């Protein structure tokens, strides 16, 4: 099983958040698909805001957040990450990056595990090829931060309250040491 998916499953267990047994491949309800779509779009928006200001550590954080949400949807269904090839190469234009992120998020409206896997694989690829960062180190750093937040305050990345959303970035770890020179 994908090591990042295992971390997300552990996070769900810490929150007592329901998820299907591995291999069960439950179908998400329409409302769950909408909820995950909203979370994916929010994380995608954070990436675009980070691109706008040109802060690579913030872009990396956005990519990890987007991947985390995609993996959460997979974990909720009991699915596995389907490793997908990514056909995007850096052409010097951030618009092409925006287009592929938006397209992959839009495909998740199907609720299919393979669509969420595409988003996860894209985030991993962009972290390496666009941001030039260690995606695994960044993912583990964000995961540890989230586990610590849950143990201290009970915060959840899946909470739709405005208070959590407004403080999410303030409580995010600095990923500057995950960037390659």
Calpha distance 40→133 (Å, rounded):
21
Element holding 129 (H helix, E strand): helix 113-129
pLDDT on residue 39? 95
According to DSSP, the residues that pair with 133 across neighbouring strands are 179
pLDDT on residue 164? 42
Calpha distance 156→168 (Å, rounded):
9
For the full predicted model, state whether its pTM sits above 0.75.
yes
Q: Note down pLDDT in tens along the chain; length 181 residues.
A: 689 999 998 888 877 777 878 877 788 999 999 999 999 999 999 999 999 998 999 999 999 999 999 999 999 998 899 987 777 666 767 788 889 999 999 999 999 999 999 999 999 999 998 899 999 999 999 999 988 887 766 555 555 444 444 444 447 888 999 998 7
Residue 5 and residue 59 in contact, taking contact as beta carbons nearer than 8 Å: no
Cα 54 to Cα 49, 59, 70: the distances in Å are 9, 8, 24
Residue 37 and residue 109 in contact, taking contact as beta carbons nearer than 8 Å: yes
């Amino acid at each position: 099983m994908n090591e990042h998916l295992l971390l997300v499953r552990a996070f769900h267990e810490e929150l007592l958040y329901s998820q299907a047994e591995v291999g069960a491949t439950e179908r998400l309800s329409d409302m769950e698909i909408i909820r995950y779509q909203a979370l994916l779009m929010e994380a995608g928006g954070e990436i675009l805001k980070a691109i706008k200001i040109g802060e690579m550590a913030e872009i990396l954080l956005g990519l990890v957040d987007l991947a985390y949400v995609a993996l959460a949807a997979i974990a909720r269904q009991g699915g596995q990450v389907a490793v997908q090839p990514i056909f995007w190469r850096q052409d010097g234009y951030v618009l092409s990056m925006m287009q592929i992120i938006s397209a992959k998020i839009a495909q998740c409206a199907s609720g299919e595990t393979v669509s969420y896997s595409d988003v996860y694989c894209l985030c991993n690829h962009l972290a390496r090829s666009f941001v030039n960062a260690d995606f695994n180190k960044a993912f583990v750093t964000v995961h540890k931060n989230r586990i610590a937040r849950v143990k201290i305050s009970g915060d959840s990345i899946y909470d739709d309250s405005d208070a959590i959303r407004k403080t999410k970035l303030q409580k995010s770890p600095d990923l500057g040491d995950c960037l390659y020179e």
